[in-house]
Amino acid sequence: MEYLPQLLEYAESIKDKPMSSLLITAEMESEYIPDELGNIHFDGLLSKAVVYKIPCNFQEKYQYFIPLPLLLLGQQRQYYCCSVALPGDYVKGRFYWRKRSELRVPQKIRMGAGAYKAYNVRHDTIHTNTLKFLAHGIKKEIEDLLGYISNVGKKRNYGKGEIRKWTVEPIDNPPEDCIIHDSQVLRPIPVTEIESTSPPITAAYYPPYWHYMNETECYVPI
């Protein structure tokens, strides 16, 4: 794990602030595209906001400590106390975008057939009016970071996952209720940290979720 000075300063600035359980609601402007497991990770959104707020020079080959205004749980493998997105009433759809070869050569190439043929890539979409998240953290700091997040999910440059408004409300729940409900996990949790009836698979449990070094065997939401 790599530690950057500016992120350590941010971690120190939020270290002793009081935390509470929260219900976070995103009012959606457009459909969104979740990840391969059908999830949007709240700590992933906040980590992106922290990087916007505190610009850092990251190198892809390293795993970085990203402090968030959330309760940190776990012993062997730590993870943040927050759920994945919990959509309200929703309808599934499909979105296609045109994948073209990025090859740059002086001669002409055929885009309509052969090895460099352009093709449509399909993404499953979710249409919903609201996305809800549960978390245990610092309300004011979370509200500040959400100001940096205007879209969620994939293909944001196509207008997907636009958010009209964020709201953050305190709730009277213990921290455990933000990550487990009826014995089912509400976020990926390493199998070394809890016992669950949720299915275990290899998955990321810590932001950034695309980084292979953040993957291990986890219980995941179903």
- Answer for the pair 137, 42: CB distance below 8 angstroms, yes or no: no
Tens digit of each residue's pLDDT (9 = 90 or more) over 200-221? 899 999 998 988 889 999 999 8
pTM listed for this prediction: 0.85
Q: Is the pLDDT of residue 105 over 60?
A: no
Measured CA to CA, the distance from residue 149 to residue 162 in angstroms comes to 9
Q: How many independent structural domains does the chain possess?
A: 1
Run of H or E residues at 164: strand 163-170
- Stronger pLDDT, 195 or 138, i.e. the higher one: 138
Residue 110 pLDDT level (bands cut at 50, 70, 90): low
What number of other Cβ atoms are within 10 A of residue 184's Cβ? 14
SS3 1: coil
Q: What is the mean pLDDT of residues 146-175?
A: 90
Residue 183 pLDDT level (bands cut at 50, 70, 90): confident
Q: Which among 207, 128, 133 is positioned nearest to 167, based on CA atoms? A: 133
Residue 193 pLDDT level (bands cut at 50, 70, 90): very high
> What integer pLDDT is reported at residue 1 of this predicted model?
74
Q: Which among 23, 16, 20 is positioned nearest to 174, based on CA atoms? A: 20
Structural domain span for residue 90: 5-219
Give me the chain's average pLDDT, please.
87
Tens digit of each residue's pLDDT (9 = 90 or more) over 114-131? 656 676 777 788 889 999
Record the tokens describing residue 130, joined without a space.
């609201």
Residue 60 pLDDT level (bands cut at 50, 70, 90): confident
> What integer pLDDT is reported at residue 125 of this predicted model?
87
